[in-house]
Amino acid sequence: MATTFVPEPRLLDSPRHRRWTSLPPPRNRAASPPGVADVAVVGAGPAGLAMAAALWHRGVRDVIVLDRQGQPCSRFFGRVDTLGQRVLRSPYEHHPGAEGYRDCELLDFARLHWGLLTPVERREIRMAQAGHRSVVPVDVFEAYCRQVAVTHHVGERTWRATVRELIPAPDNVAVRATDDEISVGYVVLCLGEERRPAPAAWWDRGRPDAQHVSYWDEPVPEGQERIIVIGAGLTAAHLIASALGQGRRVGWVFRAAAERYQCSDVNAAFFRPEGRSRFERVSWADRMAMMRAQRRASVMFEFRPLLRQAEATGQLAVHRGHAVTRVTADPRGPVVHLADGQQVAGDHVVLALGTIPSTGADLLAADLVGARDGWPDLDEATLAYRHAPRVFAIGAAAGMTLGPAARNIDGHRAATGRVAAAIAAALGHG
């Protein structure tokens, strides 16, 4: 009889905001980015951090990073803390950085800080060393990202700016940002993913105000005792766990007939070179089918005991197999209307409907993006836009080239390797 290993929920309770080893602050920088640079990286999340590190190793140092928050990974960890998330789904093998160089890797970093870790976290390190699946604490990952930013001089080259338009020319790219126009040789878009909006039909009677409805990356107002979470994925699970930990009652609504639990967000084969190669060899239609299959919502196994216990005690009410038709405001609070006529009432609704890749369509002309089924037209070898070869994309936008792993941290490393090599060669850095 086959058995399934279910990790302990205690893995979800890693401490947050510990005091890590002090690192030197970034060197002073000008108030505004320079007007000319070899490379502009747009977005300073884990993908942007990995890209800047990869370019640094290739000897490309005239790089500016433009980010809405102005600090490496600030938006990423802000979203994580809004969710109350304590661990990552990505294992220790997946870390932002450059493949093929002798950097301190995430597992090395955790071992160097052994004394700051809990017994459960130390056991995860031993699991990783033995080649088993392991769970990385958000706290460890954030401290590691800070170290990568310092050792590769990313922080001192990052400016707060909202990029509004890219205008490619044969010899450069004009980057129009909040208050500046910058001329660069190459641009790398590390835009990540944006939340998927609710269907417009849900608001046929007017959208309830923010006191009653919010998205997963927005804080839930204080004093709301009955929370309704819509969505079946890991984000929904984190929201539910956080609400349960605060003593709130939770209603959980999703269209699938049952929760889908799995260890990783995509099949591990796609993280390996042979898996990516297999994806690249098949037709566009087959790629689309693989992407649909891999982007189904799922939850880490660690949540299962917690959620089942809460359902058994009545603190969690699960509405499986129910499509939402609309969300309305009632004097007593919001009401979620289901396709079979049921109504779920609460004090606040949180929408965890997944994310969609940022493809560059807001920054580049449509003919340059060359979108097909919502995906940009990228060169298979370099991840450059075919119609704007001085602009590259990594992260989720490269999904139809690299496969489902593109949106994962390990996929970022594979993407940065291709892009950094192409840019370094073009700039004469070998």
Q: What is the CATH number of the domain that holds 253?
A: 3.50.50.60
On whether both 142 and 101 belong to a single domain, the answer is yes
pLDDT in tens, 85-127: 999 988 888 888 777 777 888 999 999 999 999 999 999 999 9
| E strand or H helix at 141 | helix 138-151
Residue with tokens 């939850």: 299
Question: How many structural domains compose the chain?
Answer: 2
On whether both 231 and 166 belong to a single domain, the answer is no
On whether both 63 and 144 belong to a single domain, the answer is yes
pLDDT score of 3: 45
On whether both 187 and 52 belong to a single domain, the answer is yes
On whether both 178 and 53 belong to a single domain, the answer is yes
pLDDT score of 12: 83
On whether both 341 and 384 belong to a single domain, the answer is no
**Statement: residue 183 has pLDDT above 80:** yes
On whether both 132 and 73 belong to a single domain, the answer is yes
How far is it, in rounded angstroms, from Cα 392 to Cα 168?
Answer: 12
Distances (CA, A) of 356 to 105, 110, 154, 195, 305: 29, 32, 27, 6, 30
On whether both 118 and 242 belong to a single domain, the answer is no
pLDDT in tens, 211-234: 899 999 999 988 899 999 999 999
pLDDT in tens, 308-353: 999 999 999 999 999 999 999 888 899 999 999 999 999 999 999 9
The answer to the question of residue 382 being in a domain is: yes
The answer to the question of residue 314 being in a domain is: yes
The answer to the question of residue 274 being in a domain is: no
Specify which residues 37 forms β-bridges with: 184
Closest CA to 383 of 427, 416, 361, 408: 416
The answer to the question of residue 21 being in a domain is: yes
The answer to the question of residue 291 being in a domain is: no
On whether both 86 and 216 belong to a single domain, the answer is no
On whether both 394 and 347 belong to a single domain, the answer is no
On whether both 204 and 68 belong to a single domain, the answer is no
The answer to the question of residue 286 being in a domain is: no
Q: What letter does residue 272 receive in the DSSP assignment? A: S
**Statement: residue 2 has pLDDT above 50:** no
Instruction: Using CB atoms within 10 Å of the CB of residue 281, give its burial: 0 to 12 exposed, 13 to 18 middle, 19+ buried.
Output: exposed
pLDDT score of 11: 76
On whether both 185 and 37 belong to a single domain, the answer is yes
Angle at 295 between CA 251 and CA 275, to 5 degrees: 150
Q: Which of 2-6, 212-216, 374-378 has the lowest mean pLDDT?
A: 2-6
Structure tokens at 90: 């990505």
Closest CA to 264 of 145, 129, 405, 142: 405
**Statement: residue 384 has pLDDT above 60:** yes
The answer to the question of residue 416 being in a domain is: yes
How far is it, in rounded angstroms, from Cα 178 to Cα 39?
Answer: 18
Q: Which of 270-274, 277-281, 359-363 has the lowest mean pLDDT?
A: 270-274
Final residue of a structural domain among 312, 329, 353: 353
Most confident of 63-77, 255-269, 403-417: 63-77
Give the distance from CA 159 to its chain's centroid: 21
The answer to the question of residue 293 being in a domain is: no
State which residues form the domain around 389.
Answer: 9-194+356-426
Contact 49, 72 (CB under 8 A): yes
Final residue of a structural domain among 353, 368, 400: 353
Closest CA to 96 of 17, 43, 163: 43
Final residue of a structural domain among 337, 353, 369: 353
